[in-house]
Amino acid sequence: MSVLVANEFYDFNSLKELLQVTDGNLASHLKALEKEDYITVTKSFIGRKPNTQYAASPLGKQAFKKHLEVLENLIKQQK
């Protein structure tokens, strides 16, 4: 999710390479994020090759920000 929040969009193969995960593992995680409306999915073709791009939705960005706030609070409690 952090990759999608930090970038306008990312395609499937670039995400797979960056995260060093299998197709199935990445697809499962992306499907879960899509189900929660945290990401948007855009399918197109580049030439004859299919291309799927993912972007963080406004709801996803909000949820990620909340997640970071919770992590910050946990860290502050440990001091």
- pLDDT tens digit sequence for 13-72: 999 999 999 999 999 999 999 999 999 999 999 999 999 999 999 999 999 999 999 999
State the DSSP H helix or E strand holding residue 28, giving kind and residue range, or none if neither: helix 23-35
Classify residue 58 as exposed, middle or buried by CB count within 10 Å of its CB (0-12, 13-18, 19+): exposed
Look-up of token digits 């502050």 = 76
Q: Enumerate the domain spans of the chain.
A: 2-77
Q: 2-77 in CATH: which number?
A: 1.10.10.10
What distances in angstroms separate CA 55 from CA 4, 21, 33, 42, 71, one per listed residue? Answer: 6, 18, 11, 8, 23
Please tell me the distance from the alpha carbon of residue 15 to that of residue 33, in angstroms, as a whole number.
Answer: 14
Query: Could you report the per-residue pLDDT of 11-27, keeping only the tens digit for each?
Result: 999 999 999 999 999 99
